[in-house]
Chains A and B, each alone.
Chain A
């Protein structure tokens, strides 16, 4: 009964969503017409009094707000029911039967909601409704012109996912019998990184719908001034942070679970998460230019539309099975729905954009190329270039099949060869940009800014040549050193400037600097995190060493200064699987000092014994990881086969990821604002709302 009820709540949410969407767009249109100059002779209070004191535009808009809240509540009820079903083993529900089992740990039962197609779509819808509600509550009064259209756009987005849930991927579909047990969760998903990583990605993907909705609203309402970009800055940064964390956690999962020694394979689904990250990062930089200089208006709305489109395209890629991937856990007939949605949003947005082009003229021109806006512009071109390369490589198998009838895939080396140099240029710009001031940086200032970071980078080159004869890592590391140097210089000069002007101690000056300029210095922390990720990538890509070996008990193997001795094979029965782990002792090959133990594992799940999963054994240090995969063993474990990697500097990838999150939090942390003068708090709205609450 409860599952029928839950399905009907989705049907009800679908109906209210459709109504709310129409109410939002229609209400916005009516309100805008009434607010247009000359709509009323007075021009001041433009809303005619209806018999009960309110215009239809306002009423419809209010109704769209109520629709968002109601849809959120109804979808929330449905999600809670599905969680209840998962936690209490209601295997008569097809989704639960397919995604869970009695012996599955509770932790994974809870996470099973995003482990399959229908559940993950419900989870996506839940997050989208929560984001929509948060935006509606935050901007209900302060962005009154935009909000009806924002509501309409968000509800249209929600409507699409509710259509999927109601008509194509019902999470409450029953199988007619009550099986004694479920088929179990995909073994690859039974990993703690896999529990948190999809949630982060979903928060990122779904959250990026909010800035897109504001861009559509700005176009529809013709309010294309700087306010909408100021409004969406935080609402883009936060999903961007989640997306970044999700990508890093996904890499961590691939590193620990897939057992091939790396963390990024340019797999189509990895690329699907990376593409919107690239365009969202470009957007975050280019809205600063629009905010400061009133330019790049067309580019900004295009970028956020591209980001939204790439999110939907990525979801389509993951779920349609159009591209084969190690991540394609959920394939179903929802693909055509996504394709139609993509086509509708693309055509609709482009038509709207062309119609609004006359309102999107820049207010200024770029004064000089040696300015921060010049560097940001170049960085945008590079982000767009990389996004194009990744998109092309990802969909090349599909294009080649359409054009030649033969499916040709491009592998990681192609991506590294083509995107690598672009990333290197991007890193250079990441160092150059912060050294430039807005508008123009003269030759003398350029010399003053670049001398130290460039000198440090150049001095490092001879030392780097000792580590490798290959020019690529040497250039890569020296660029990383240059960027890190610019960041350190920025902090040092900022602290010194404050100390000079205020006589503060170093710690106080540093605190004041970050507190007063959180946006700028949070950005530097993010850049430093990206530098560390770059260092880890170069280390892993160019300095990795590996061996494949079969060892008898007591035998050792040496690799990159480590000696690994195979001690024994152990077996442990867990709730839903048998864990077979090898015990290896790691020592310094030169001195013989024991450094620790490593336990690579194989998990053989009761439901899928033919799909054993690999859990790598790892010894992680700041310098390098010793990474061991248990490939197989003889009978009772008298001998076992291993693949061993020594991965230099990999730990810095996770540290860098953490810094990206910390830097984003510093950037979005509320900045102290001066109180407004009374004339500015004179409210344009009768309920006394301040007009200038632009960036919530």
Chain B
């Protein structure tokens, strides 16, 4: 029993030390409001892009009628463009993009084609590359 207590004392000191170490140490990770907002916007933009893709697929297999497709596609693209604009304006303006700055609707098309290219693993034809890449 005494040996067990001695052994657990050693393990206990090591474990407690390990757990409380960050309280005395140097930690660089911090959270910013900006980071959370950006993450939220990016998630919403990704959801919108996925929804555009799903809509196009559903339309191609006949689940969505042409008129509905046109309407929902317009709404989703508008939403995605607004999100791209917000990300662009609030978290890194177009001046970051260098000389090849483009319009938001062109950005959206590039984003959609870029996603499609990666998902399909198509050979890179160069035409759908984002300016920064």
Contact = CB atoms under 8 A, between A and B. Distances in A.
A685 interface: yes
A38 to B, nearest CB: 9
A445 B59 CA distance: 9
A269 B81 CA distance: 52
Interface in A481-498: 490, 493-494, 496-497
A678 B58 CA distance: 31
Nearest to B36: A145
Contacts of A145: 31, 36
A225 B19 contact: no
Interface stretch (A58-66, A96-104, A124-132, A179-187): A58-66
Given A12-B15, A677-B132, A691 B35 contact: yes
B47 A144 contact: no
Interface in B15-31: 15-16, 18-31
Interface in A622-674: 671-674
B44 A225 contact: yes
A441 B15 contact: no
Contacts, number: 226
B119 interface: yes
A53 interface: yes
Nearest to A31: B31
Given A438-B58, A493-B62, A70 B28 contact: no
Nearest to B67: A442
Given A684-B31, A685-B29, A5 B61 contact: no
Most buried by B among A5, A74, A435: A5
Contacts of A439: 64, 68, 72
Given A437-B64, A493-B61, A5 B4 contact: yes
Contacts of B31: 31, 34-35, 46-47, 144-145, 684-685
Interface in B59-103: 59-65, 67-68, 72, 87-88, 91-92, 96-97
A437 to B, nearest CB: 4
A448 B36 contact: no
A327 interface: no
Given A497-B57, A691-B42, A66 B22 contact: yes
A1 B29 contact: no
A644 B98 CA distance: 80
Interface in A36-65: 36-37, 43-47, 52-55, 58-60, 62-63, 65
Interface string B1-13: 1011101100110
A444 B65 contact: yes
Contact of B29 (A58, A496, A512, A679): A58
B34 interface: yes
A676 B39 CA distance: 12
Interface string A425-460: 000000000011111111011001100000000000
Interface residues of A, number: 87
A225 B54 contact: no
A4 interface: yes
Given A1-B3, A58-B30, A671-B119, A8 B8 contact: yes
Interface in A390-444: 435-442, 444
A517 interface: yes
A396 to B, nearest CB: 43
Nearest to A11: B8
Nearest to A35: B31
B53 to A, nearest CB: 9
Most buried by A among B29, B32, B33: B32
A43 B32 CA distance: 8
Most buried by B among A2, A37, A677: A677
A517 B57 contact: yes
Given A16-B15, A46-B32, A54-B28, A60 B23 contact: yes
Given A74-B15, A691-B39, A692-B39, A686 B30 contact: yes
Nearest to A231: B43
B51 A449 contact: no
B40 interface: yes
Most buried by A among B28, B35, B92, B121: B35
Contacts of A37: 33
A609 B57 CA distance: 64
Nearest to A671: B119
A43 B33 contact: yes
A291 B19 contact: no
A47 B30 contact: yes
Contacts of B58: 437-438
Contacts of B133: 675, 677
A31 B121 CA distance: 41
Given A63-B19, A692-B43, A694-B43, A684 B118 contact: no
A555 interface: no
A678 B18 contact: no
A401 to B, nearest CB: 46
A197 B16 CA distance: 36
Nearest to B6: A5
Given A63-B19, A445-B62, A223 B43 contact: no
Contacts of A449: 62-63
Given A679-B96, A682-B91, 11 more contacts: A1-B4, A5-B4, A12-B8, A36-B33, A52-B25, A58-B27, A62-B25, A230-B47, A437-B68, A490-B61, A497-B61
24 contacts: A5-B4, A16-B16, A35-B31, A35-B36, A52-B24, A54-B26, A54-B27, A63-B19, A66-B18, A223-B40, A226-B44, A437-B63, A437-B68, A439-B68, A440-B64, A448-B62, A494-B57, A672-B121, A674-B114, A677-B130, A678-B132, A680-B42, A684-B31, A684-B34
8 smallest A-B Cβ distances: which pairs? A684-B35, A62-B22, A679-B92, A437-B63, A692-B42, A691-B39, A4-B4, A47-B30
